Amino acid sequence: MEVERTSQSVPHKPAPTRLKDAAEEELEKLVFGDLSGFQAGLYADKADYSSEDENEVRLNLNKPLGEVDQLEDDQLFFVDSGPTQPTDLVHATSTDLTHAGDSDSEAELSRPAWEDSDDERLTISLSINPRLRKLRTTELDDVITGTEYTKRLRVQYERINPIPSWSLPSKDSERPKKSRRTSSPDASSESEDEVMDVDLPTNNSLSALLQSSATYTKRSKNGRLPPESLDISRLRDANYLSPSHSGIQSLSFHSSHPLLLSAGFDHVLRLYHIDKKTNPPATSLYLQGTPIHTAAFHPDGKRVFASGRRRYFHIWDLESGKIEKITRVYGNQEHQKSMEKFKLSPCGRFMALCGAHGYINILDAKTGQWVDSVVVEGVVADIAWSIGGKKLLVANTAGEVWEWDSAERRIESRWNDEGGNGLTTISLGGNDRWCAVGSTSGVVNIYDRKEKVVVEGHPTPKRALGNLVTAINVLEFSDDGQLLCIGSKEKRDALRLVHLPTCTVYKNWPTTSTPVGNIHCAGFAGGASGLFAFGNQQGKIRLWEIR
């Protein structure tokens, strides 16, 4: 017989509580205390402090303080950082670094709002850390205080990063950096509230440069260029320190001083001092509401002409800073809907504006008044002045060229470009010996004007260059007539230099690694400086020196 066994849980019995003896309870009371002892301790201090003690404290407050009593708590201790202590030389240096000519009011304004008392007690060694040795005034200068360390760091920072002139208080009531000028009411009719910001140097560096005898650095006496290869080296970009915010639409070198003018659709005229090293910006002018297409120095070098796709243009006097806005062309205003394209005569007397319906308006470059008009057939493509402003060449898109005599005020000759159709640009160079004509196909015809062009003639070019395959928009001769720059903005790196009188294209430059981009404009510096610059769509002004 099987007996079924069931497991039943046995209840857990708690362990018997161990009773504490008298010695253990006494020890626990001494270590942890008990409730009655805690309550008794609350009133023990109150009983120990009597009214006599309070009167004694009041009497001690009226006693004069001793030398030790006058010290602060943190002055009772010092940090032992070594045997060397700050010398008198440090304090003398601190005095020399302050501006002796500051007035009390300026010192009050320059006083910091908060000073850390620990700076004076802090000591720093300048000889241990190599990076701090530049802060020493003498070779023996070593340990300085924290306050002196702060001053020297500030002086070192201001030496590397000078205080910008716009942050300094102006001595005059006018703003030192920006001056806002409005056009005269007689000259402005469309936007009378137009405001222009002129970025003027505070030290009149531009005026000093214009009045100085500084000029371009000339090449060697033997200035003839070989036709086989070109010795050219790249310089720092002209606008490296002051870049443009749009593509460079126009470039112009000053006739005598090392200045370069640039303009673009960012509404800003910029002047750069070309020193072949850093090329610092000289000044700039912002023309509100005027994306600039064309900008050029006047032949006298004292004024800048600028225009955009507007019914007005601006004249900027560099010496006085005055800005004049010309808005009307009296006589043929209906044919001048835009003043974006103009050419100044080399003599400085005339300004030719490309108009609509075959009109070219001739203005007086000094007064801005209308002088005469040249009318040709078709659509005007480009214009070019001869030496002395005696003749104006006008070319239309059909390949026809007219030569206008400025003295007799009449067209004296007319001829056709070989190839005929799609003419885009025309330029004269080499004392009017060479005439270059560009087309939409990329072909550039070079004519030798020693061969007389008769009326209704069809001259034969000395050389037809087919190195480029897109529309030509850049044709620039060097001042000595030895080089011709041809370029097209429609294709990247479409730039070539042509040697004259051989009319051969240099093969060694540009190379595949030359940073050209999409070229919009180019220019050669005057004289025998050998400077060559071009602006591209990326907003860069590449600067080169031709030896």
CA distances from 105 to 102, 109, 429 (A): 8, 6, 63
* 334/521: higher pLDDT: 521
Looking at 162, 182, 216, the residue that finishes a domain is: 162
Residue 229 has pLDDT above 50, yes or no: yes
Number of domains in the chain: 2
Question: Is the pLDDT reported for residue 65 higher than 60?
Answer: no
Kindly indicate the confidence band of residue 188, based on its pLDDT and cuts at 50, 70 and 90. very low
Q: Does 141 lie in the same domain as 285? A: no
Q: Does residue 386 lie within any of the structural domains?
A: yes
User: Of 162, 186, 221, which marks where a domain is finished?
Assistant: 162
Residue 357 lies in a domain: yes
Confidence of residue 191 (pLDDT cuts 50, 70, 90): very low
Above pLDDT 70, what percent of the chain?
A: 71
Determine the pLDDT at residue 345.
96
Whether residue 124 is found in the same domain as residue 244: no
Write the CA distances from 129 to 142, 143, 330, 419, 450, integer angstroms: 10, 11, 75, 75, 74
Whether residues 396 and 452 share a domain: the answer is: yes
Q: Which domain holds residue 146?
A: 119-162
Query: Any idea which of 472-476, 508-512, 525-529 has the lowest mean pLDDT?
Result: 525-529
Distance CA 186, CA 121 (A): 69
pLDDT band at residue 20 under the 50/70/90 scheme: confident
Q: In which band, very low, low, confident or very high, does the pLDDT at 88 lie, cut at 50, 70 and 90?
A: very low
Residue among 327, 361, 326 at smallest CA distance from 343: 361
Name the residue type at position 306.
Answer: A
Q: Say whether both 249 and 356 belong to one domain.
A: yes
Identify whether residues 150 and 244 lie together within a single domain: no
Asked whether residue 389 is domain-assigned, the answer is yes
Same domain, 147 and 214: no
Task: Identify whether 35 is part of a domain.
Answer: no
- Output the six-digit token pair for 421: 């159709």
Instruction: Identify whether residues 137 and 259 lie together within a single domain.
Output: no
- 148 and 119 Cβ atoms separated by less than 8 Å: no
CA separation for the pair 534, 278 (Å, rounded) = 17
Given this model, what pLDDT does residue 464 score? 96
User: How far is Cα 361 from Cα 373, in angstroms, rounded to an integer?
Assistant: 5
Q: What would the two tokens of residue 236 be?
A: 């720092």
Residue among 4, 535, 66, 9 nearest 272 (CA): 535
> Is the pLDDT assigned to residue 176 strictly greater than 60?
no
pLDDT confidence band for 84 (50 / 70 / 90): very low
State whether 154 and 272 are in the same domain. no
> Tens of pLDDT along 204-221?
567 666 766 556 565 555
* pLDDT, tens digit, 9 for 90 and up, residues 230-249: 999 999 999 999 999 999 99
At residue 41, the pLDDT reads 63
Burial class (CB in 10 A: 0-12, 13-18, 19+), 271: buried
**Single residue among 132, 162, 192 that ends a domain in this structure:** 162
- Residues 309-318 pLDDT 10s: 999 999 999 9
Does a structural domain hold residue 286? yes
Confidence of residue 1 (pLDDT cuts 50, 70, 90): very low
- What is the pLDDT confidence band of residue 185, given thresholds at 50, 70 and 90? very low
In a domain, 255, yes or no: yes
Same domain, 139 and 238: no
Please tell me whether residues 295 and 151 are part of one structural domain: no
User: 0.85 exceeded by the pTM?
Assistant: no
Strand (E) or helix (H) holding 427: strand 423-429
Tell me phi and psi for residue 499, to 5 degrees: -85, 140
Tokens representing 292 are: 């600039």
Candidate from 47-61, 423-437, 446-460, 513-527 with smallest mean pLDDT: 47-61
Residue 30 lies in a domain: no
Q: Which of 86-95, 379-388, 433-442 has the lowest mean pLDDT?
A: 86-95
Q: Are residues 525 and 471 in the same domain?
A: yes
- The average confidence (pLDDT) of the chain is 80
| 354 and 432 in a common domain | yes
CATH number at residue 261: 2.130.10.10
195 located within any domain:
no
CB neighbour burial string for 101-133, b if at least 16 within 10 angstroms, e if fewer: eeeeeeeeeeeeeeeeeeeeebbbebeeeeebe
Contacts of 497 (CB under 8 A, 6+ apart): 230, 483, 484, 485, 505, 506, 509
